[in-house]
Amino acid sequence: MGLVTAKEVAKVINADKYGFIGTFFGWLLMKVLNISTLNRIYDRNKHLDDLEFLNSILDEFQIRFEIPQEDLKRLPKEGAYISVSNHPLGGIDGILLLKLMLEQRKDFKIIANFLLHRIEPLKPYIMPVNPFDDRKDVKSSITGFKNAILHLREGHPLGIFPAGEVSTYKDGKLVVDRPWEEAAMKLVKKAEVPVVPIYFHAKNSRLFYSLSKISDTLRTAKLPSELLTQKHRVIRVRIGRPISVNDQREHESLEDFSEFIRRKTYMLSNFFEPKEKILKNISSSLKVPKAPKRIITPVSPEIMNSEIDAIRSRDMRLLKSKNYEVYLSPASEIPHILREIGRLREITFREVGEGTNQSIDLDKFDRYYHHMFLWDTDKKVIAGAYRMGLGSKIYEQHGINGFYLQDLFRFEPELHKMMSQSIEMGRAFIIKEYQLKPMPLFLLWKGIVHTTLRFPEHKYLIGGV
């Protein structure tokens, strides 16, 4: 007997009430969706045990995957832990997770959907949940919760997909998980064991996502045959560093805790830059550098001092220490100071071989980012500066593409909220004459603290500094 029968397919699409006709329609759907092929492959391999079965299935479906060896070394060798993963494929990712984890620890178990639990050789390693059951079986849920906690208390590792079901397209572009199940994250929080984030970089077929838009039941019916759609693709996997219990305890509310773990998981997606961007970077690195242009002339100290008087009157000074003042201002308020920042930035970066070789180092982001700079009131010069992007304003006005970091990495939609709550820092410099003095860098760092106090809606600092 195969994994899925015609009667079960008929039940999924609510055609079972039509008796034989409904079953026949289920059989036709099995043929159309290639579920019959899946059944035949399963029947050929169901006599095998655990890892032997998993390896044979992956070979049968010609599924290729990549994972850095150093990532596997991050998995705890003993004691309990919970692996938390995104769920882009709805079945193959579970099979692949089991293979990778069982090769490291034979006591690993996974909380997975109905499909994996029906695979006889894998039953010893599966704690099942049933996405077809609209009615929540409270007794069954409590039992499952207790069994999972008991498994962890005995010192064994456990894997979960907190979304509870396969990822689907969001905004018609990117594959992301649905909001993670509250019950799953309660389990993770209550367990108080290290959490290992695991990210699967993969997607299902276009037909699958088309059916998902039409009906949840059609999506679920198509799910088993998605095993056949990965033949010419490579599933890429990354494993993050274990998140300690102490780090978890810093996030007291369940909502904050869930967002923290989810963010840690999706941040692993940044390892996968689009190929065209990599090729572009390689191409750029092979180009013969152009001769550096002559740097623009300095801005008059009197003009800069006039702009400083104006922004000081608008309470944009963050702090004062002896002959130094630190300011934070939007670019629109300091056009001449911004020009001087771009000039000094280019000079300073050229001195260490990192200049743009343009006459001034300013880009499109400088026009709408804030700029924090250190002003020497005695010498009337800018001693150093940081570019500061207030995420809430940037995201509201420009979306995720308004961030400089989005040009370097591709942020999954799951991280967009985090970016809107972040202050992006970068393009930092201190001019040569002040680099050996202790105060300038200290005061700029102090300015960062004052910035976070002025804009408390931002929870995170991010960026290359």
Q: Is residue 285 part of a domain?
A: no
Range of the domain at 377: 290-462
Helix (H) or strand (E) holding 55: helix 50-60
- Predicted confidence band of residue 16 (pLDDT cuts 50, 70, 90): confident
pLDDT digits (tens, 9 = 90+) for 53-72: 999 988 888 888 999 999 99
pLDDT at residue 281, rounded to an integer: 43
pLDDT at residue 6, rounded to an integer: 77
Q: Is residue 32 part of a domain?
A: no
Tell whether 238 and 354 lie within a shared domain: no
Tell whether 234 and 300 lie within a shared domain: no
The span from the CA of 344 to the CA of 185, in Å, is 49
pLDDT at residue 52, rounded to an integer: 92
- Say if residue 205's pLDDT is above 80: no
Helix (H) or strand (E) holding 87: none
The span from the CA of 300 to the CA of 302, in Å, is 5
- Predicted confidence band of residue 273 (pLDDT cuts 50, 70, 90): low
pLDDT digits (tens, 9 = 90+) for 221-267: 666 667 677 777 789 999 999 999 999 998 989 998 998 999 899 88
Tell whether 211 and 305 lie within a shared domain: no
CATH number for the domain spanning 353: value is 3.40.630
Tell whether 263 and 298 lie within a shared domain: no
Tell whether 170 and 257 lie within a shared domain: yes
Tell whether 102 and 236 lie within a shared domain: yes
Tell whether 259 and 294 lie within a shared domain: no
Q: Is residue 284 part of a domain?
A: no
Q: Is residue 122 part of a domain?
A: yes
How large a percentage of the chain has pLDDT more than 90? 52
The span from the CA of 68 to the CA of 104, in Å, is 14
Instruction: Please give the full DSSP string across 168-211, using - where no structure is assigned.
Output: EEETTTEEEPPSPPHHHHHHHHHH-S-EEEEEEE----HHHHHH
Highest mean pLDDT (candidates 41-45, 249-253, 301-305): 301-305
Name the domain boundary from 272, 298, 320: 272
Q: Is residue 282 part of a domain?
A: no
pLDDT at residue 98, rounded to an integer: 93
pLDDT at residue 135, rounded to an integer: 43
Lookup: tokens for 255: 């909502």
Across the chain, what does the average pLDDT equal?
Answer: 85
- Predicted confidence band of residue 119 (pLDDT cuts 50, 70, 90): confident
Q: Is residue 219 part of a domain?
A: yes
Q: Is residue 63 part of a domain?
A: yes
Lookup: tokens for 233: 């693709």
pLDDT digits (tens, 9 = 90+) for 278-297: 445 434 433 445 678 999 99
Tell whether 86 and 154 lie within a shared domain: yes
Name the domain boundary from 272, 299, 330: 272
pLDDT at residue 31, rounded to an integer: 74
| Bridge partners of residue 326, in order along the sequence | 319, 374
Closest CA to 203 of 165, 172, 229, 182: 229
pLDDT digits (tens, 9 = 90+) for 387-443: 999 999 999 999 999 999 887 777 778 789 899 999 999 999 999 999 999 899 999
Lookup: tokens for 246: 């102490």
pLDDT at residue 365, rounded to an integer: 95
How large a percentage of the chain has pLDDT more than 70? 83
Tell whether 213 and 102 lie within a shared domain: yes
CATH number for the domain spanning 59: value is 3.40.1130.10
Mean pLDDT of 138-158: 81
Tell whether 239 and 294 lie within a shared domain: no
Tell whether 228 and 371 lie within a shared domain: no
Q: Count up the domains in the chain and report the number.
A: 2
- Predicted confidence band of residue 274 (pLDDT cuts 50, 70, 90): low
Mean pLDDT of 297-305: 96
- Say if residue 215's pLDDT is above 50: yes
pLDDT at residue 367, rounded to an integer: 95
- Say if residue 312's pLDDT is above 50: yes
The span from the CA of 327 to the CA of 385, in Å, is 9
| Bridge partners of residue 235, in order along the sequence | 65
pLDDT at residue 290, rounded to an integer: 60
Name the domain boundary from 228, 246, 272: 272
pLDDT at residue 363, rounded to an integer: 93
Q: Are 38 and 228 in contact (CB under 8 A)?
A: yes
Tell whether 191 and 331 lie within a shared domain: no
- Say if residue 2's pLDDT is above 80: no
Q: Is residue 29 part of a domain?
A: no
